[in-house]
Structure 1
Amino acid sequence: MISVLVLTLNEEINIGDCLDSVAWADDVLVLDSGSEDRTVEIARDRGARVLHRDFDDFASQRNYGLEAGGLRHDWVLHLDADERVTPALRESLREAVGRGEHRAYRVPSKLIFQGRWLKHAGMYPTYQVRFGRREALTFTQVGHGQRGALPPEQVGTIDEPLRHHAFSKGISDWVRRHNRYSSDEAGHARATALRDVDWSSLLTGTAQARRRALKDLSYALPCRPLLRFLYVYVGRLGLLDGRPGFDYAILLAFYEYLIGLKRREHARDGSRTHAEESADAPLEQDPQSPQL
């Protein structure tokens, strides 16, 4: 009834629990990007099929799995290795298939940090399109993440959440990944101008469309790290999540600071390159100047 597609790279800590949470599925494909640990071995021991593809971005990985993975069922659930499917979510997925009201569905996730669900600082519920018909659900890459390409009216919402163990490999791993993500976000920010903001979504769009528009608009704001901290810790009541909420808000502010640093670094490098090219270019005669 449902195929499961899991993206992996060096996920021996996570992949066992992830696959155990979808043991009810008779078709599980692990798309690996070149793991050097026991990820592939563990996946095969759990009965999953394994394919390899060098990683370029998340959207391309998911689309490749849909197109070349030989998935057996019309409905596909997309997971990362640090995510878990609860029994309640499993039943909600099956009910959605039975109703057939939409071609794809948004799924919320509960962020787990320091052994605690960050109900407030984790900005629950935030949704990603992760479940849908194989022939309809494709993805496009935006910043470091991916978005479903279907129009909003074809996308429904599932209320039961995934459990997201984003810190299962420790703070160092989180920082390493978000250093990479910040480069992608800086590139997206450089390419996004105020004219690109979907202003209509701010007033009349879905919650997900408003969130995307607000994100694009936020690139023009000053003091983004401080604003991100205040929004998460005060505006979203992350202070009610105790010390984990404070620590997570600090980490997000640090992430925003990295994005800003890389944007300014690129601007300086671009200006320097332009100046060097101008200095190296041959002098052109000004037609209004007298010849000597």
Structure 2
Amino acid sequence: MGREQLSVVVTTFNSAGTLDACLRSVAWADEIVVLDSGSTDATVAIAAHHGARIHTQPFAGYSAQKQAAIDLASHRWVLLLDSDESLDADAAVPLQQALRAPAQAGYQLWRREWQFWRWQSRRGRLNHYVRLFDRQRARMSGHEVHESVLVDGPVGVLDVVIDHYGEPDIAGRVAKANRYSTLQLADLDGRQVGWLRLRMVAYPAVAFLRYYLLRGHWRSGWAGFIAARIHAFYAFLKYAKLYEQRRRQQG
């Protein structure tokens, strides 16, 4: 029995350090589409080496760039990956099985995080995201950061793990928290100043406990503790920056 044809879609910018592993992990796909936003390193050459169909356009924002890449796919079914992600070695079989007769409009995949010098413990809670979907029934959310795939129809979960390398060190993780907290101001717009004060005081502690204890990052030792503290710092920054913005608007 045949299966649905699959387009793997990846957006890139100076992704030479991780793109080879990403594309090697999906070498079995029917098509690889790479949308680059002006890389100056070996990103485009790596994509070409893997036989990807390469397009270029200026960066339009995380959500819009990914939607543009999805729209370039030739096939109805799309697997969306970041350039610093790769599928684990056992992923091809369940993905191909799901594509033989898709029972859902989209599927969530699990994601395992690299934490500075080690992988997060598999005994901890892995996040899951919609990454395999029928593009005729799906679209990107439009958020400035933490963009997601919205599916018009039922969504299932596959026993497939994406390895996410992300930022390789603490400095990179902190820089990302600073950058993302600024970008997220547009998505947080509408909160009142009094509510923001409470958020600044209480939410970082809640974010730390949820990330460290409930998601099980305590199982990853000091790497998990540091990641949880940076996550809490990010939770503080986004509301502190919105508070600052509101105070300036009020004069």
Q: What residue number does 2:195 align with?
A: none
Q: What residue number does 1:100 align with?
A: 102
Secondary structure (helix, strand or coil) at the match of 2:29 reads coil
Secondary structure (helix, strand or coil) at the match of 2:131 reads strand
More strand, by proportion: 2
Aligned CA distance change for structure 1 residues 221 and 247 (closer, same or farther; 3 Å): closer
Residue 114 in 1 paired to residue 116 in 2? yes
Residue 259 in 1 paired to residue 238 in 2? yes
Q: What residue number does 1:142 align with?
A: 143
Q: What residue number does 2:14 align with?
A: 10
Q: What residue number does 2:161 align with?
A: 161
Counterparts of 1:143 and 1:119, CA distance in 2:
29
Work out the percentage of aligned pairs sharing the same amino acid: 29
Greater relative contact order structure (CA < 8 Å, 6+ sep): 2
Counterparts of 2:114 and 2:231, CA distance in 1:
15
Secondary structure (helix, strand or coil) at the match of 2:10 reads strand
Q: Report if the CA contact (8 A) 1:120-1:238 is conserved.
A: no
1:108 maps to amino acid: W
Secondary structure (helix, strand or coil) at the match of 2:90 reads helix
Give the counterpart of 2:209 among 223, 230, 234: 230
Q: Report if the CA contact (8 A) 1:182-1:259 is conserved.
A: yes
Q: What residue number does 1:209 align with?
A: none
Secondary structure (helix, strand or coil) at the match of 1:72 reads coil
Counterparts of 1:174 and 1:40, CA distance in 2:
25
Residue 65 in 1 paired to residue 66 in 2? no
TM-score, normalised relative to structure 2 = 0.87
1:184 maps to amino acid: L
Q: Report if the CA contact (8 A) 1:104-1:154 is conserved.
A: yes
Counterparts of 2:92 and 2:158, CA distance in 1:
11
Counterparts of 1:236 and 1:154, CA distance in 2:
26
Structure number with bigger Rg: 1
Counterparts of 1:23 and 1:95, CA distance in 2:
16
TM-score, normalised relative to structure 1 = 0.76
Residue 75 in 1 paired to residue 77 in 2? yes
Q: CA RMSD in A?
A: 2.2
Q: Show CA shifts across 1:133-160 (max 9, x none).
A: 2322211123512222224x52111122
Q: Show CA shifts across 1:100-132 (max 9, x none).
A: 1011111110112134222379x6332211111
Aligned CA distance change for structure 1 residues 175 and 56 (closer, same or farther; 3 Å): farther
Secondary structure (helix, strand or coil) at the match of 1:87 reads coil
Aligned CA distance change for structure 1 residues 182 and 221 (closer, same or farther; 3 Å): closer
Which ranges of structure 1 fall in alignment gaps of 5 or more residues? 194-218, 273-292
